[in-house]
């Protein structure tokens, strides 16, 4: 019997990829079929995602995946960054280009909603970190822009709709909207009514592993995809897929899903909705198999990405090598300061932030890179400690997955700052989580523990032991506080 092959479409905020994986007992071979940049576009003053450009790349990637798999693909699944959505009119046509979560349209909206509705209700219903771009605040900002809309689809659900013609809302990503009740897993009617939002826009929920449908005939004809290919719902929130593929054994682990964002937390069986948790601004997002991803969004590698863009995209490897030699923790930022959220001149914002907080202004590119990485490692430390304190979950080891796991300096700094061993990798944890959930749905692998053991046994990982310098990190945290 041949080993079945699955395709993952994984769209991150900085790039997208289509990958295939052969999955069977002791086998998990991931192959990249297509990778493409994900570049936001500002038009008429609004920052958009180029969703049709992305979809074109997805179709090309799936065409490539199908032709590279002579035995035939069993299934394909789609995940992407969270919170953003497209709106369909009554004919099922897309109404305008989805707006990017970093667009300024939500400025001040979260504060207004919090004042009107109250933090307690918002947190008790959704269990979510207060982030200005949560879908709920985007919808309030959109206001009359919703009038012609009949259906709201989160980005992976929108692409799945174009592929199959079927609408639905996958649960892990729905849990990032602020409109899903964290206790009973249904859309929160009381919150929708309270905010005056049209609940009819929200489609029926579906869970990871449910088959969504098969390619529409025109899609099959255009891509060469078999007409009977199962398009399967996965943990369509990229972070849910990444956490599903963390190569952990047991439950005493923390994770950092590190790319554009660093999602830092633990996996729990039930949400933590305490007042302390709300004040610490922790989130309870839905994971695969009804798990709770108890975490905080840390600004991640975005400040580095945006600095590189400002500098005309110089070689990252060379800059990281130079940054190794910059003295540690000389200049620090709080990466979670909202001033770093929008696109724009990042190096200037970093320098001004350091000066304001009494740190030397980083002068060279290498100093800026070092400042960002030291500050990110420090934020990893602070957030992990908070996650442990608020959840009571012991953490013996930290799994750092995603593109950031390629950054040797960051992994080392994170192990030192957290005072825990860091296991770095897989880089493509999200795509792996995506294909593994499909494989399970189609009988090629067992439950979460078996999926994780398969990742641990087959994927290249690196281990970083803490060097014992946690006191210096504690002192840095105090200087920044």
- Rounded to a whole number of angstroms, the minimum distance from the CB of residue 64 to ligand LRH is 24
Minimum CB distance to ligand ADP smaller for 140 or for 410: 410
| Residues 156, 49: Cα–Cα separation, whole Å | 13
Minimum CB distance to ligand ADP smaller for 175 or for 305: 305
Minimum CB distance to ligand LRH smaller for 239 or for 307: 239
Binding of ligand ADP by 406 (CB under 6 A): yes
Count Cα atoms within 13 angstroms, Cβ side, for 478: 6
Catalytically active residues, by annotation: 238
Through-space distance between the first and last CA atoms of the chain, rounded to whole angstroms: 59
| Residues 1, 443: Cα–Cα separation, whole Å | 14
- Rounded to a whole number of angstroms, the minimum distance from the CB of residue 402 to ligand LRH is 9
- Restricting to residues 307-346, name those near ligand ADP by CB under 6 A: 316
- Rounded to a whole number of angstroms, the minimum distance from the CB of residue 79 to ligand LRH is 9
Binding of ligand LRH by 263 (CB under 6 A): yes
Please name which of 20, 56, 63, 22 lies closest in space to residue 37, comparing C-alpha atoms: 56
Binding of ligand LRH by 177 (CB under 6 A): no
- Asked if 283 and 127 touch (Cβ cutoff 8 Å), the reply is yes
Place of tokens 């592929």: 163
Binding of ligand LRH by 379 (CB under 6 A): no
Minimum CB distance to ligand ADP smaller for 305 or for 375: 305
- Rounded to a whole number of angstroms, the minimum distance from the CB of residue 178 to ligand ADP is 21
Binding of ligand LRH by 101 (CB under 6 A): yes
- Restricting to residues 18-77, name those near ligand LRH by CB under 6 A: none
Minimum CB distance to ligand ADP smaller for 280 or for 310: 310
Query: With CB under 6 A as the contact rule, which of the stretches 81-89, 200-208, 344-352, 368-376 interacts with ligand LRH?
Result: 81-89
Binding of ligand ADP by 241 (CB under 6 A): no
Binding of ligand ADP by 404 (CB under 6 A): yes
- Rounded to a whole number of angstroms, the minimum distance from the CB of residue 176 to ligand LRH is 6
- Rounded to a whole number of angstroms, the minimum distance from the CB of residue 15 to ligand ADP is 5
- Asked if 302 and 261 touch (Cβ cutoff 8 Å), the reply is yes
Please name which of 115, 15, 448, 27 lies closest in space to residue 251, comparing C-alpha atoms: 448
Candidate list 85, 255, 261, 282; residue touching ligand LRH; CB under 6 A: 261
Minimum CB distance to ligand LRH smaller for 299 or for 444: 299
| Residues 40, 48: Cα–Cα separation, whole Å | 6
Q: Which does 407 bind (CB under 5 to 8 A by kind): ligand ADP, ligand LRH, none?
A: ligand ADP
| Residues 31, 95: Cα–Cα separation, whole Å | 35
Query: With CB under 6 A as the contact rule, which of the stretches 56-64, 189-197, 324-332, 399-407 interacts with ligand ADP?
Result: 399-407
Peptide bond into 21 cis (omega under 30): no
Q: Which does 14 bind (CB under 5 to 8 A by kind): ligand LRH, ligand ADP, none?
A: ligand ADP
Residue 335: count other Cβ atoms within 10 Å of its Cβ.
22
Candidate list 14, 31, 46, 470; residue touching ligand ADP; CB under 6 A: 14
- Rounded to a whole number of angstroms, the minimum distance from the CB of residue 300 to ligand ADP is 7
Minimum CB distance to ligand ADP smaller for 332 or for 401: 401
Query: With CB under 6 A as the contact rule, which of the stretches 9-17, 20-28, 217-225, 467-475 interacts with ligand ADP?
Result: 9-17
- Restricting to residues 294-313, name those near ligand LRH by CB under 6 A: 297
Candidate list 4, 20, 23, 81; residue touching ligand LRH; CB under 6 A: 81
Binding of ligand LRH by 239 (CB under 6 A): yes
- Asked if 349 and 342 touch (Cβ cutoff 8 Å), the reply is no
- The neighbouring-strand residues paired with 401 are 257
Binding of ligand LRH by 136 (CB under 6 A): no
Binding of ligand ADP by 303 (CB under 6 A): no
Contact set with ligand ADP (CB under 6 A): 12-15, 259-260, 301, 304-305, 316, 402-404, 406-407
Contact set with ligand LRH (CB under 6 A): 12-13, 81-83, 101, 237-239, 260-261, 263, 297
């Amino acid at each position: 019997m041949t080993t079945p092959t699955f395709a993952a479409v994984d769209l991150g905020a900085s790039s997208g990829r289509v990958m295939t994986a052969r999955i069977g007992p002791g086998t998990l071979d991931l192959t990249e079929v297509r990778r493409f940049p994900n570049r936001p576009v500002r038009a008429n003053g609004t920052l958009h995602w180029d969703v049709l450009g992305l979809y074109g790349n997805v179709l090309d990637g799936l065409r490539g995946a199908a032709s590279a798999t002579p035995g035939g693909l069993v299934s394909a699944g789609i995940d992407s960054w969270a919170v953003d959505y497209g709106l369909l009119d009554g004919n099922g046509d897309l109404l305008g280009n989805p707006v990017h979560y970093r667009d300024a349209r939500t400025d001040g909206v979260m504060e207004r909603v919090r004042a009107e509705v109250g933090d307690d209700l918002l947190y008790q219903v959704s269990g979510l970190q207060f982030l200005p771009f949560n879908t709920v605040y985007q919808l309030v900002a959109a206001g009359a822009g919703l009038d012609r809309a009949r259906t709201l689809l989160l980005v992976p659900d929108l692409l799945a709709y174009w592929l199959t013609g079927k609408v639905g809302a996958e649960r892990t990503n729905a849990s990032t909207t602020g409109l899903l009740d964290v206790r009973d897993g249904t859309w929160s009617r009381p919150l929708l009514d309270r905010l005056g939002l049209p609940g009819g826009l929200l489609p029926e929920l579906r869970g990871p592993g449910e088959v969504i449908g098969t390619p529409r005939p025109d899609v099959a004809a255009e891509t060469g995809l078999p007409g009977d290919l199962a398009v399967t719902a996965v943990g369509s929130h990229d972070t849910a897929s990444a956490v599903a593929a963390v190569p952990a054994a047991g439950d005493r682990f923390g994770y950092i899903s590190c790319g554009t964002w660093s999602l830092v937390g633990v996996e729990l069986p039930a949400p933590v909705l305490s007042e302390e948790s709300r004040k610490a601004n922790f989130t309870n997002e839905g994971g695969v198999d009804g798990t709770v991803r108890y975490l905080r969004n840390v600004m991640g590698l975005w400040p580095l990405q945006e600095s590189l863009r400002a500098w005309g995209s110089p070689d990252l490897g060379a800059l990281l090598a130079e940054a190794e030699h910059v003295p540690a923790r000389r200049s620090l930022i709080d990466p979670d300061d909202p001033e770093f959220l929008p696109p724009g001149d990042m190096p200037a914002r970093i320098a001004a932030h350091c000066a304001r907080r009494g740190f030397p202004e980083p002068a060279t590119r290498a100093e800026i890179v070092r400042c960002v990485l030291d500050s990110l490692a420090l934020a990893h430390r602070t957030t992990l400690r908070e996650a442990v304190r608020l959840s009571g979950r012991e953490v013996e080891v930290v799994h750092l997955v995603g593109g950031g796991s390629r950054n040797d300096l960051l992994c080392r700094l994170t192990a030192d700052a957290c005072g825990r061993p860091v296991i770095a990798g897989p880089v493509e944890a999200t795509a792996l989580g995506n294909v593994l959930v499909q494989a399970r749905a189609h009988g090629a692998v067992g439950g979460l523990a078996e999926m994780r053991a398969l990742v641990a046994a087959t994927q290249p990982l690196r281990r970083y032991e803490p060097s014992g310098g946690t006191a210096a990190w504690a002192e840095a945290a105090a200087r920044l506080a």
